[in-house]
């Protein structure tokens, strides 16, 4: 195996702007090609190891299907069986997997788990979600907005909800591509200050902007896209009732959407808690592109796989 430094994807800041644009362009090309020609053998003989500590539908299916449709294979490693960090150190797991397979796809609670895997692995490590970032979700949104709007630069993205991992990755997408990002959240639920400190020069360099408000109607007033996510993330179940009360004024419903421009899109990373952060009528409306975004998870992740494995 090659000993050259692998291309990881722990956050979108692991890519520069041109690389990010290339991944999105590749995702679009893959989608078109797959619809017309079907599976390929681009990753024939290649194997992905998947470590998923958190439940998953979209991420697991799209990574596994993506590898298969590109001619490769995916091995799901039961976290209870490998007990990474307990039965065996993260370093030893990373070094062993590096001798056997071609890429590690990790969905973990701790972001440090993914960065530690990347520190020791001599193969690419892809963040399939941590408590701090969800870069593949942001890539799928980027692909979806390109399809619907034809550009990303200058678009206004309103995230209505908790300043969580999805919000962090969407802010990174916006910073890289010159978008205007605004977070609407209750006081005390703003994004991680360290994340924002890192993003500030990126926004300035690329002509975008960042803002935070505690009023949903203010956030969506000029939005091209409204994004929302569950109020209670995995691992926060003990805070459920408290958070539901604090976020109750931030529901994405017909009344809120009516305060946005007439062509404003709405989306959700899914799964949705319908009746909490979003209503069924908005989910069912022509404005909502959450299932287009879910479809694009497959193609965006294929683009990531081809990009990082192709670096070796």
| Catalytic choice (264, 269, 288, 290) | 269
Q: Exactly one of 46, 60, 134, 299 is catalytic; which is it?
A: 134
Residue from 97, 132, 96, 99 nearest 113 by CA:
132
Catalytic residue flag (residue 229): yes
Q: Is 269 annotated as catalytic?
A: yes
Q: Which of 58, 107, 156, 176 is catalytic?
A: 107
Q: How far is CA 187 from CA 35, 163, 172, 257, in A?
A: 45, 10, 22, 22
137 is annotated as an active-site residue: yes
Q: Which of 69, 137, 191, 301 is catalytic?
A: 137
Per annotation, catalytic residue among 14, 116, 162, 229: 229
Handedness of CA 289, 292, 297, 300 (dihedral sign): negative
* Active-site residue flag, 297: yes
Catalytic member of 224, 297, 299, 301: 297
Active site residues: 107, 134, 137, 229, 269, 297
């Amino acid at each position: 195996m090659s000993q050259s430094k692998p291309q990881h994807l722990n956050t979108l800041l692991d890519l520069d702007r041109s690389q990010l644009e290339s991944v999105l362009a590749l995702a679009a090309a893959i989608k078109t090609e797959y619809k017309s020609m079907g599976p390929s053998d681009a990753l024939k003989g290649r194997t992905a190891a998947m470590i998923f500590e958190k439940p998953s539908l979209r991420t697991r299916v799209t990574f596994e299907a993506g590898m298969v449709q590109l001619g490769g294979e995916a091995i799901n490693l039961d976290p209870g069986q490998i007990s990474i960090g307990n039965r065996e150190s993260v370093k030893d797991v990373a070094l062993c997997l590096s001798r056997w397979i071609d890429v590690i796809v990790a969905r973990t609670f701790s972001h440090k788990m993914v960065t530690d895997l990347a520190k020791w692995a001599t193969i690419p490590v892809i963040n399939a979600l941590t408590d701090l970032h969800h870069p593949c979700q942001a890539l799928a949104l980027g692909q979806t907005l390109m399809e619907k709007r034809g550009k990303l630069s200058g678009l206004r993205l309103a995230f209505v909800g908790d300043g969580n991992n999805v919000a962090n990755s969407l802010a990174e997408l916006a910073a890289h591509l010159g978008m205007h990002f605004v977070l609407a959240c209750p006081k005390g639920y703003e994004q991680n200050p360290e994340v924002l400190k890192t993003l500030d020069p990126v926004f300035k360099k690329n002509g975008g902007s960042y803002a935070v408000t505690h009023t949903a109607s203010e956030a969506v007033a000029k939005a091209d896209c409204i994004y929302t996510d569950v109020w209670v993330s995995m691992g926060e179940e003990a805070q459920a009732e408290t958070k539901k009360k604090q976020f109750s004024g931030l529901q994405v419903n017909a009344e809120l959407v009516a305060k946005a421009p007439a062509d404003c899109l709405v989306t959700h990373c899914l799964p949705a808690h319908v009746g909490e952060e979003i209503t069924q009528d908005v989910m069912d409306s022509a404005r909502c592109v959450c299932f287009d975004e879910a479809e694009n998870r497959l193609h965006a992740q294929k683009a990531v796989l081809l990009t990082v494995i192709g670096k070796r």
